[in-house]
Chains A and B, each alone.
Chain A
Amino acid sequence: MPELTRRRALGAAAGAAAALAVAGTAAAAAARKEHTAADPASFDEVYKGRRIQGTPSHGGGHHGGHGGGYSVHIDGEELHVMRNADGTWISVVNHYEPFATPRAVARAAVAELQGADLVPLVTV
């Protein structure tokens, strides 16, 4: 593969992630000024036998920027989530199907996983 080496592809993605982290920090600062009115509330429940948690995470966590400053965990492992422009949510295990809330996307992930463990996010 002369052009698309793994190193180059991932390096490019890492550069994008770094840029997003900066943007995420700025967005988080702006959101704090507005008392995070746009952020969904935290949640913590056991759904189909698994603990799902969601919380605003401004600038925190190694993926704080991607979800618009919101992180979701299943049994303690981070589920990569992303907020769409219209306010809907997707996750890495349901990446083509928007859900209304982070809780809904977490529940959908539990259903999709059928008991399997998430593996730690690796993007670099």
Chain B
Amino acid sequence: MTVRKNQAQLTSTEKRRFVDALLELKRTGQYDTFVTTHNAFIMSDTDSGDRVGHRSPSFLPWHRRFLIQFEQQLQAVDPDVALPYWDWTADRTAASSLWAADFLGGTGRSRDGQVMDGPFSAASGSWPVNVGVDGRTYLRRALGAGGRQLPTRAETDSVLAMSTYDAPPWNSASDGFRNHLEGWRGVNLHNRVHVWVGGQMATGVSPNDPVFWLHHAFIDRLWAQWQARHPGSPYLPAAGTPDVVDLRDTMRPWNDVTPADMLDHTRHYTYDAAA
């Protein structure tokens, strides 16, 4: 059974094997298909039209399925690898071991934002950015640029306390847990972390930075924690909602999985500590 661990608790061997599996998916071209898919959805999901991956109730089950698929690809390379999660309420600075040279590498240099150390630096030769929105082919970051702050534990708890999953109009204007977690409204959790990292993570091609998976694994864990706190609160909407994925509607691009299928993460993996 796959156990997803806090990145801060990984052994050096676990880090190395995770990195090696990422590099292998990159080498074979499989990695970039995930970047392409994410960008296609983020550009087509709109508040006033069809929306599946973002700014909609299915933000959480869509990314859960997306991460499971990515994790399965990693495990096809190395069966012992699982996605770690980054608890950015605890590991909140660029000095975190997450950003050390033996794991994801650090922030970008000031001149051009280029990441200069770690396995994903351009100098390593193993991490070309092929699916980009501009001509730059090197990984970039600007961790905490401009004095930006990651969400605090108290801010995160305030969102976990919201008992309603989602609400009309089921988009970036909604009240409820999903949109506050996604960050279009309120204290801003998920969106703010993308902006804090900067570089490709702030763009539609954000999975170019491997931290994308660790960020979303933590968002996914927060969803599980929310479910544990609010066992009587269902996924919403239930049925018959135009442009929106209802509980038992299938989600693109898979077309064979529904939000209902994604509600219980323990069918696919568990976390190192009880959610």
A contact set with B: CB distance below 8 Å: 1, 3-6, 8-10, 12-13, 16-17, 19-20, 23, 27, 65-66, 68, 80, 82-86, 92-98, 112-114, 116-119, 121, 123
Contacts and interface: CB of A to CB of B under 8 A. Distances in A.
Contacts of B194: 95-96
Q: Is the interface of B mostly helix, strand, loop or mixed?
A: loop
Contacts of B183: 96
A94 B133 contact: no
On chain B, which size bracket covers the interface?
Answer: 35 or more
Contacts of B132: 119
Interface of B: 30, 33, 36-37, 39-44, 46-50, 52, 55, 69, 73, 112-113, 132-136, 169, 171-173, 183-184, 190-192, 194-195, 202-204, 206, 252-256
A10 B49 contact: no
12 contacts: A6-B33, A8-B253, A9-B40, A13-B40, A16-B252, A66-B44, A68-B48, A85-B48, A96-B190, A116-B135, A118-B134, A119-B133
Contacts of B113: 114
Contacts of A1: 30, 33, 69, 73
B133 A9 contact: no
Contacts of B203: 92-95, 112
B51 to A, nearest CB: 9
A3 B48 contact: no
Of the listed residues A8, A80, A92, A121, the one surrounded by the most CB atoms of chain B closer than 10 A to its CB is A92
B194 to A, nearest CB: 4
Given A9-B33, A13-B253, A85-B169, 5 more contacts: A13-B41, A13-B44, A65-B49, A82-B43, A96-B195
A9 B135 CA distance: 24
Contacts of B191: 96-97
Nearest to B111: A114
Contacts of B46: 20, 66, 82
